[in-house]
Structure formats: structure tokens, C-alpha cells
Amino acid sequence: MTQASHDEGAARRPAFTIARVGTQGAVAELTLDRPPVNALDSEDWYALAAAIDALGRDDSVRVILLRGEGRGFCAGVDIKELAAYPERIVAVNAGNYATFRAVHRSTKPVIVAVHGFVLGGGIGICGAADIVIASQCARFGVPEIDRGAMGGGAHLQRMFGVQKVRAMYFTGDMVDADEAWRLGAVERVVPREALRHAALELAQRIAEKSGAMLALAKEALNGVEDGDLEDKYRWEQGFTLQAYMTNDSTEARSAFVEKRSAQFDDARQPREGRA
């Protein structure tokens, strides 16, 4: 989003819309729509978490479908906000945590339909979800190492194997939809124009099941996972905060906003103590 939206008194509009679709509106379709790249600021992340939590409490909802409009699914956090207000890193971290927890811990199955770029917080959403469907143009990545931050490693590791995650994390390289499917990170790859239909078709099939059985299945599957996803992400966020305290992080973010190459000095030390 543009930096003007953070200025005092600037008008805001919701970063997403919610529609009820399918038989008796049992599928809640939540669509990210924050031009130009669906990069969400601290307020957006809190609002998204609250909306997902509310849908989870709605007995008439059986399935939640999350997708995006525009050039890509989600570019993660709004780097321009943090460049202008670095102190908001704590609020952004908390909003990310709340959103990913809302998706993962929702009593309703959450399907994510992605296209274009799936970056940073977009990876967190996908990694927290139950099922991911991708368009052929989808590309997954965690470019945080080039933005002076830490990425969604806990959630990325729920999608890809350990060594693939580390290669993506250290290089910032992207993985395309076909490779993501080959590695088991997505359920299905479809043409861009068929993405919403394919996701809604699957969501409706699931929504025809017993709501009580779906809730039990979701709780059971979360319970048999290896470790606690939210605890892992909290651990990782401590290093994100620590990263933001370094001069290299400030330089990386400034370079990104100014569209130039970053100039790092590995001898620089954090401005303050460890997070």
C-alpha cells in the first residue's frame, strides 16, 4: 500500500472483503484486496486475524476460503510502513502471529488459493492453512534475508522439507507452482482463470460434510503434528526483532524502499542488546 495511507487522518478502506458462497452460504470467501501487492500493515494484520476468528465462531460457516485479488496473493508485511515507523515492528509481529494462529487454530478447514507472488506473510498464511491450491503463475518465497528480517521458517517448514526450506531461506530464491506441487506443498495446480472455481469447488465439497466432524478432524490433525507451530513461530519472531535492531537491517529496508542495492558492513554490531 502507499505510504500516504499511514499519514495522520488519511482515509483507510478494508484490506479484504468477505462473501458467503456455496450452498446456504456455508463457505466464507475472504479476499485480500490491498493494491498494489497485497502488502498488509500492522492494522491490516490485526483486522484479518479478527475476521478469521469471527468466521471460526460462526456456526453457519463450514469452510473458510482465503484468496487475493490483483498481481499476487500476498507480498507479506508493508515494508514502507516499517521504514517510516520502525517501532511498529512489534505490532506487525503480533499481527502476523495473530493471523497465522487464527488460520491454524480455526475450528473450520481453511483453504488458501494463491496466484502470482506468495511472499513473507503470504507464506505464513499458506503454511498455517489446511489446503493450498495454486495457479500456474504462483511463486513462493521468503525474501526477508534481503529485507533485514527473518522469514516464516516455521510455516515454510510445514510446506517444504527442512533442506529445501533452508535453501529458500538463505538465498531468497523462489519456488514455482509446479515445483511446489512436486514437493507436496500444494494440493493442486490450475490455470489462473480456473483458480477461484477450483478452490470453491473443493470448499463446497468439504462444506457438505458434518460441521461437528470437520471440527473434530481439524483438532485431531493439529494435535498429531510434530511440535507446536505457534511456539515455533514465537521463537523465530525473537530473531526477527533482533534483526531489526541491526544497522544492516535498516540498510536493507532503506535500499528496498529506495530501489537500490544494499551496502552491508559485516563488522557492524546491533545498536542494543539481544532481543
Residues in the chain: 275
Residue 203 maps to a domain = no
**Which pTM value belongs to this model?**
0.83
Model pLDDT for residues 198-238, shown as the tens digit of each residue: 999 999 999 999 999 999 999 999 999 877 888 877 777 77
Give every CB contact of residue 43 below 8 A, 6+ residues apart in sequence: 12, 95
Q: Which domain range does residue 14 map to?
A: 3-193+210-258
Residue 205 maps to a domain = no
Residue 274 maps to a domain = no
The number of distinct structural domains making up the chain is: 1
**Residue 125, phi then psi, degrees to nearest 5:** -65, -45
Residue 249 maps to a domain = yes
Residue 60 maps to a domain = yes
CATH number at residue 24: 3.90.226.10
Long-range pairs for 197-200: beta carbons < 8 A, 24 or more residues apart: 198/113, 198/133, 199/65, 199/67, 199/111, 199/113, 199/133, 200/21, 200/22, 200/27, 200/29, 200/65
CA distance 48 to 32: 9
Residue 230 maps to a domain = yes
Model pLDDT for residues 238-275, shown as the tens digit of each residue: 777 777 778 887 777 777 778 888 888 754 444 444 44
